[in-house]
């Protein structure tokens, strides 16, 4: 195992190490100080949607414990904190009347991060769409793109002067594919028509939010966070190679090409273009030049062709890891080469700005024993993936920072609280935080890099 000091030496001096969270996953206080429900508040109350009917009502109670949590982040020796702003706290109805108490919370949070010498990397939208907007169709309605732009302008006017960078949307794949095609995330749709509409509206919302933010602060570095997948053919056959490329277009290019090329691939338009609410000028709005982009990476995909080619496009099947493959406790394959291979592939396909690894981490459900959490498997995962990040930098990929997912165990969406990604253990009954061994390891890495 490489020492944290030796590993940190492989990164440029200006490289930033950070930790990441998201509002609905940690804040709790679901109805405090003017916040109204999001689609996840409603979804989690529907029987059978979330493990054991759990919700983010309390989560890690960060809304009330934020000062102690910021002290915890500072103690880790990291440079930066990535978090999301809860749209339902700022605009409880999605549009219209601003909840000043919601803005006040993030005002205090940001000021306190700066006071502690931590850089500020917020995300506008991390899946907590105000429930009121579902009355108009949610992400299937073009009006939601305008609503995100309004929200962006309000946030940047109040908070943008103290941000180091701002992301518009976190993982539109989850808000589109996972939420409207596969029905796993809120609002739980399983509709090709709803999916196609949501994809375009999410892309359009990103572009409009960038325009709105820049209308207030042209100097604010703007980006988008994508969970692009490292896709490998399951075999060397022509059929599997073709299926892997179709899967790449359907899961990755469907977001990257409009944002970075200003167009949808012809195969995507042939498959679902008639169901996408595309209007003249939309692609120019989506194709805003970005200052940076974020990649969230956890695991690769192995893709085979649909045997009878009877399914809808992309006629590709994801092959699950076999019994001999190293996996995390959530069942995801561990392959750090997927990270470096994906970065090289994306930079060969698109003219991309500098990148941050905005999420990377692993689910291991180790608990405290005699006050300690021995999570050596997470340390091994992190070491491998940070090494792959350093390899990519060495190969010329412009990576500016790495945000570990996650600071602390939290509400893991449809998995509830049974899956733990944090380097800090949370006892959800007592809200006691316990640094895992991986937190000590990451602190050694971050502090060693500062003395480089």
The residues assigned a catalytic role are 171, 359
Please report where in the chains the tokens 């930790």 appear, as a residue: 19
Tokens of 357: 């690894």
- Measure the CA–CA gap between 268 and 273, rounded to whole angstroms: 6
Contact 295, 343 (CB under 8 A): yes
Tokens of 367: 């608990």
Contact 17, 445 (CB under 8 A): yes
Q: In 230-354, where do the E strands start and end?
A: 231-233, 293-296, 301-305, 316-318
Residues with Cβ within 8 Å of 400's Cβ and at least 6 positions away in sequence, in order, are 14, 15, 16, 292, 354, 355, 356
- Measure the CA–CA gap between 48 and 54, rounded to whole angstroms: 10
Order of all β-strands in the sheet with 301-305: 231-233, 301-305, 316-318
With vertex at residue 113, the alpha carbon angle to CA 108 and CA 117, rounded to the nearest 5 degrees, is 145
Work out whether strand 316-318 and strand 301-305 pair parallel, antiparallel, or are unpaired: antiparallel
- Measure the CA–CA gap between 399 and 284, rounded to whole angstroms: 27
- DSSP bridge partners of 327: 333
> Which alpha helices (H) appear in 3-99, and where do they start and end?
4-8, 23-26, 39-43, 62-75, 87-90
Tokens of 60: 């890690």
- Measure the CA–CA gap between 138 and 237, rounded to whole angstroms: 41
Burial class (CB in 10 A: 0-12, 13-18, 19+), 442: buried
CB count in 10 Å sphere of residue 68 = 11
- Measure the CA–CA gap between 357 and 195, rounded to whole angstroms: 27
> Which alpha helices (H) appear in 95-191, and where do they start and end?
100-115, 142-159, 172-173
């Amino acid at each position: 195992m490489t020492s944290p000091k030796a590993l940190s030496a492989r990164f440029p001096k200006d490289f930033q190490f950070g930790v990441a969270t998201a509002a609905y996953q940690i804040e709790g206080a679901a109805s405090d100080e003017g916040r109204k429900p999001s689609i996840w508040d409603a979804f989690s109350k529907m029987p059978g949607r979330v493990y054991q009917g759990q919700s983010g009502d309390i989560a890690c109670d960060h809304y009330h414990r934020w000062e102690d949590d910021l002290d915890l982040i500072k103690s880790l020796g990291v440079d930066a904190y990535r978090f999301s702003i809860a749209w339902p706290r700022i605009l409880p109805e999605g549009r219209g009347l601003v909840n000043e108490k919601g803005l006040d919370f993030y005002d205090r949070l940001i000021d306190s991060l700066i006071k502690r010498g931590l850089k500020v990397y917020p995300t506008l939208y991390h899946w907590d769409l105000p429930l009121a907007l579902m009355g108009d169709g949610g992400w299937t309605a073009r009006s939601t793109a305008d609503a995100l732009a309004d929200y962006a302008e309000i946030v940047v006017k109040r908070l943008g002067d103290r941000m180091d960078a701002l992301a518009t949307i976190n993982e539109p794949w989850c808000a589109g594919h996972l939420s409207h095609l596969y029905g796993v995330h809120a609002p739980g749709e399983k509709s090709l028509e709803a999916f196609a509409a949501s994809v375009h509206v999410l892309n359009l919302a990103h572009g409009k939010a960038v325009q709105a933010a820049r209308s207030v602060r042209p100097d604010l570095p703007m980006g988008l966070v994508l969970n692009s997948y490292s896709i490998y053919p399951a075999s060397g056959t022509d059929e599997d190679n073709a299926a892997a490329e179709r899967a790449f277009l359907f899961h990755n290019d469907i977001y990257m090409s409009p944002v970075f090329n200003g167009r949808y691939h012809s195969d995507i338009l042939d498959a679902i273009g008639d169901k996408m609410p595309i209007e003249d000028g939309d692609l120019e709005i989506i194709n805003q030049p970005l200052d940076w982009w974020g990649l969230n990476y956890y695991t690769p995909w192995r893709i085979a062709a649909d045997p009878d080619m009877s399914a809808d496009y992309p006629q590709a099947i994801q092959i699950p890891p076999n019994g001999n493959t190293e996996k995390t406790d959530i069942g995801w394959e561990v392959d750090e080469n997927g990270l470096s291979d994906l970065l090289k592939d994306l930079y060969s396909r698109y003219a991309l700005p500098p990148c941050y690894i905005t999420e990377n981490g692993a689910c291991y459900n180790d608990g405290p024993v005699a006050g300690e959490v021995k999570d050596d498997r997470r340390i091994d995962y992190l070491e491998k993936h940070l090494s792959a990040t350093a390899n990519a930098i060495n190969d010329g990929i412009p990576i500016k920072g790495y945000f570990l997912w996650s600071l602390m165990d939290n509400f893991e969406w449809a998995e509830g609280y049974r899956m733990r990604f944090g380097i800090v253990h949370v006892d959800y009954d007592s809200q006691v935080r316990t640094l895992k061994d991986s937190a000590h390891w990451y602190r050694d890495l971050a502090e060693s890099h500062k003395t480089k």
